[in-house]
Amino acid sequence: MTVRLYDTRTASLTDLVPITDGKVGIYVCGPTVQSSPHIGHLRSALVYDQWRRWLSYRGLDVTLVRNVTDIDDKILVNATGAEEWWALAYRYELEFTAGYNRLGILAPTYEPRATASIPQMQQIIADLIERGHAYVADDATGDVYFDVASWPSYGELTNQKPDDMAASADADSRGKKDQRDFALWKGHKPEEPASASFPSPWGDGRPGWHIECSAMSARYLGQHFDIHGGGLDLRFPHHENELAQSTAAGHAFANHWVHNGLVNVNGQKMSKSLGNSIYASEFLERARPLVVRYYLGSAHYRSTIDYHDGALDEAEAALERIETFLSRAARRLEGTRFENDSVEIVPADFAAAMDDDLAIPQALAVLHDAVRAGNVALDGEDLEAAAAAQGEVLAMTEVLGINPMAVHWQTAHEPAGAALGALVEKLLEDRTAARTARDFAAADRIRDELSAAGIQIEDTPTGSHWSLES
């Protein structure tokens, strides 16, 4: 078994060879909790959940760290007199967590907040100053900057030359030797709340954005770890700056860099100026969370998803085909036993796709092929083949986190779905009573009414069962 991934740093597919045999450490840049999450945030978290699930299936012990940036310029700006910055950050953090939970995204092994690692950040800054790669501004502001010119490898992640780069916009220009230099420590400003200031050898202040992730990744995974992940929009300047400051401080840092694609809406990038941002809470009301997970996780993780009207309907139809087969198989195979029917192992073609840079579109094609084969086997009363297909489908959907029979999704039905189920079940009871009384006209009428409403009825030896037409 060899898992291959696309390494942004080398711009090539490469084998994943864990630093420690049998273990993988992944650091993912999590949210800056300045406002409500949008669907791009959900997609990014889902991508690394998929990576984690597959690597775990492959027998690796995965440690996944996803941070929370809970102090930042925009957090301070968005806070008001009625709500402190830390309260605003925590309120939005809860929104992110709620969205992750509804999509069945596994909780990270560790989820550190930036404000809990200030001493570790200050230690890296001190090391950089001592090594000649950072300097304290000479204007008594307490600002500390990374000296880009001192690090010849700067730009290697994004294949850029420092001379071609624009000025860094992550801090005021005050005290900079070079406009490309970026902030490691930001001295306290009079207009900022005192609670957002921490003591340091260079004066009271707070960390720059980039140093936060360098410190948290080293604290929880060590100075050398396997994979650093995040959205494609973080490659520059955030990840470029992380790489520069960590390696300049003497850390081996990440072996591989993985970046997920973004989410567009009707061909346009989401932005507040265009007014086309779709927030997570709104999106999760447009369809069942299981459908949203299927949709956001069905494209290749490096590709851009272009959301359009009807996309969730397509995902719903695809999921219903899986659900219908698993329901049919569970009913028809109840009480039957075959030699290998308890072994839920993904097919070789599915595994090959997942090993190949997490090629989920190809893996889903294998999944739906198994669903079709299973339905054919059920129709032909080949129960052993149906049981084999059932096991494969359950294994594949479990790995992808979309097993509709899983407890998480069984307990997460929307109230409307429960109400529909109750109504249909009552009509099926009436139809069964009519057939028992040999009132076939009434029984046929109920069946026709349900069919007209898009509900299929399947009569089996164990009773009548229903499903929505796909």
Dig out the tokens for 240 from the structure: 């470029």
Count of positions (residues) in the chain: 470
Q: At what angle do helices 383-400 and 311-332 cross, to 10 degrees?
A: 140
Distance separating alpha carbons of residues 406 and 4, to the nearest angstrom: 29
| Domain spans, the chain | 4-260, 309-410, 415-468
Highest mean pLDDT of the ranges 184-198, 354-368, 418-432: 354-368
Mean pLDDT computed over 408-419: 61
- The region that residue 401 occupies, defined by phi over 0 for left and psi between -120 and 50 for alpha, beta otherwise, is left
Three-state secondary-structure class, residue 258? strand
> What's the whole-model pTM score?
0.86
| 459 contacts: CB under 8 Å, gap ≥ 6 | none
- Of the listed ranges 79-93, 209-223, 369-383, 422-436, the one predicted with least confidence: 422-436
Fold of 4-260: Rossmann fold (3.40.50)
Mean pLDDT computed over 129-142: 91
pLDDT in tens, 262-293: 999 988 888 776 778 899 999 999 999 999 99
309-410 architecture in CATH?
A: Up-down Bundle (1.20)
pLDDT in tens, 16-59: 999 999 999 999 999 999 999 999 999 999 999 999 999 999 99
Mean pLDDT computed over 133-162: 92
Distance separating alpha carbons of residues 100 and 49, to the nearest angstrom: 10
**Quick one: which of 221, 253, 215, 95 has its CA closest to 206?**
215
CA separation, residue 332 to residues 404, 433, 456, 461 (Å): 18, 22, 17, 8
Range list of β-strands (E), 39-148: 61-66, 134-136, 144-146
**Quick one: which of 304, 303, 153 has its CA closest to 242?**
153
Distance separating alpha carbons of residues 23 and 40, to the nearest angstrom: 29
User: Tokens 């949008």, residue?
Assistant: 38
pLDDT in the model for residue 320: 96
pLDDT in tens, 203-212: 999 999 999 9
For the chain, the straight-line distance linking the first and the last C-alpha, in angstroms and rounded, comes to: 37
